[in-house]
Amino acid sequence: MAVRVLMVQTPSVEGLSPERVYPIGIVTLATHLKRAGHEVELLDMNIEADPFSALKERLLGCRPEVVGLSLRNIDPLANRTSSLIPPFATAVRLVAALLPRAWIVAGGTGFSLFPRRIMGELKQIHYGIAGEAETSLPALLASLDNPSGIKGLCYRKGEKVLVNRPSVDYDLTRYVVPSREVLLPRLYQGINNYVPVMGIETKRGCPLKCSYCVYPRLQGKKLRCRQPDGVVDEIELLHKEYGVKDFHFNDPVVNLPSGHLEEICRELLRRKISIAWSGFFREDHLDERNIRLFEEAGCNCFSFSPDGLCDQSLQALGKNLSQDDILKAAGLAAGTDVVTMYHFMVNVPGENTRTIDSGLRLLDRLYELHSLKRNLGTVVLNNIRLMPGTPLAETAIKEGVIRPDTDLLYPVYYNPPPYEALRYRLEAYHLQKNVFMWQEVRQ
């Protein structure tokens, strides 16, 4: 039986941030629901001048029987202490107040990290979907009165919230390209200064074991790749039909496994599709040959997230990388005409004066490598946001940085004394080097 559904992307950025992205998650789910015969409308609260008025107007206008609320981010990260839970909770309660008979279903990556915690606090939510929802959400809509056995289903039994094992095995060789007709890309044209609006998913899963990261939990540890020609079909359609020229690959690591991104790039070149793209790269999977291929195929930003500034920090974070790997990748990137960005974690477990000095020397070397072409975009320095179920969260408990009952739903960072101000010192050091480089001032 067809159901009338409103899919809502709740606020994913703080305030009126100019850097917003096309909500590929709810668009993908809307595509699957429409294929199942349901009537679907979409609302992205992030692009509305008055998001809650827009939500109210849409709810009363289309009177959905089911409202799907996506919580993509729980907070803005980047060392901030604000939370995106309050606007999500407000959206839930607004739906319940305006349409008390509507089913409220929650999902999204942020929700998937805290399904019991969120549904325990927000009693208005009838069901949730943790993890992948391409098959689970249509199955739920077909059995709203008595669902059972659905992967990732979050439901109530008395006062308890029960969560079925999430799906991390959706077959990406059968990937259904999101229908952008349900939410037109033109609504997002020109709204960002730096970040590409349009994301492309080429794979899911991450086999790496970084001690702070939740990607393996959310997507599984096994890499599941789309067919390269199918990825390029999607890019070509967006480029020709909607004029999209700049893309970001949403994968946890864009150049794993070896050969997959290379095939995509060769197909882009074969079809002579002139677009720009970016992604996060694994340093030890770059060489002179593939980095030139990536540049030729349109890569306009190499984003690296080695996270550790020295070998000891890299080991503490479970990166399975060395400083030599970082410098080798930096040397390769510095030889191109592509902007490069580096992301590092500060005050990691085991931080001391020796690791700090080693980190400063690494920053010096990165600027030296990029000085010839001045193609270093920036160095991002963050403290580590602690996430539940990660090895680093367990370390923080053992060290007394947090308690076992610390509520990680809200921003909590690993930043113990005596180096809690280290990030500011390193930011000043980096900013001086960056400014002097662009102003051609000798230090």
More confident residue, 44 or 17: 44
Task: Identify the pLDDT of residue 148.
Answer: 86
Of the chain, the percentage scoring pLDDT greater than 90 comes to 92
- Helix 260-271, helix 228-242: angle, nearest 10: 40
pLDDT at 15 over 90: no
Q: What is the mean pLDDT of residues 376-396?
A: 96
Q: Using CA atoms, how far apart are residues 270 and 416, in angstroms rounded to an integer?
A: 52
Instruction: Find out whether 81 and 32 touch, Cβ atoms under 8 Å.
Output: no
Radius of gyration of the chain (CA): 22
Q: What distances in angstroms separate CA 117 from CA 68, 111, 125, 161, 162, one per listed residue?
A: 18, 9, 12, 9, 11
pLDDT at 437 over 80: no
Paired strand residues for 345: 382
Task: Identify the pLDDT of residue 194.
Answer: 85
Taking alpha carbons only, the member of 405, 253, 260 closest to residue 329 is: 253
pLDDT band, residue 245 (cuts 50/70/90):
very high
Task: Identify the pLDDT of residue 363.
Answer: 96
Of the chain, the percentage scoring pLDDT greater than 70 comes to 98
Task: Identify the pLDDT of residue 16.
Answer: 66
Taking alpha carbons only, the member of 221, 189, 191 closest to residue 205 is: 221
Task: Identify the pLDDT of residue 300.
Answer: 97
Whole-structure pTM value: 0.95
pLDDT band, residue 32 (cuts 50/70/90):
very high
What does pLDDT average to over the chain?
95
pLDDT tens, residue by residue, 35-94 = 999 999 999 999 999 999 999 999 999 999 999 999 999 999 889 899 999 999 999 999
pLDDT tens, residue by residue, 37-51 = 999 999 999 999 999
Q: What is the mean pLDDT of residues 283-290?
A: 98
Task: Identify the pLDDT of residue 436.
Answer: 77
Q: Using CA atoms, how far apart are residues 366 and 426, in angstroms rounded to an integer?
A: 14
pLDDT band, residue 441 (cuts 50/70/90):
low
pLDDT at 324 over 70: yes
Q: Using CA atoms, how far apart are residues 343 and 385, in angstroms rounded to an integer?
A: 14
Please, what is the end-to-end C-alpha distance for the chain in angstroms? 71
Instruction: Find out whether 356 and 345 touch, Cβ atoms under 8 Å.
Output: no
Task: Identify the pLDDT of residue 433.
Answer: 84
Q: Residues 338-348, buried b or exposed e (16+ Cβ, 10 A)?
A: bbbbbebbbbb
Q: What is the mean pLDDT of residues 247-253?
A: 97
pLDDT at 438 over 80: no
Domains present along the chain, CATH in parentheses: 4-163 (3.40.50.10140), 196-438 (3.80.30.20)
Taking alpha carbons only, the member of 324, 282, 276, 285 closest to residue 303 is: 282
pLDDT at 3 over 70: yes
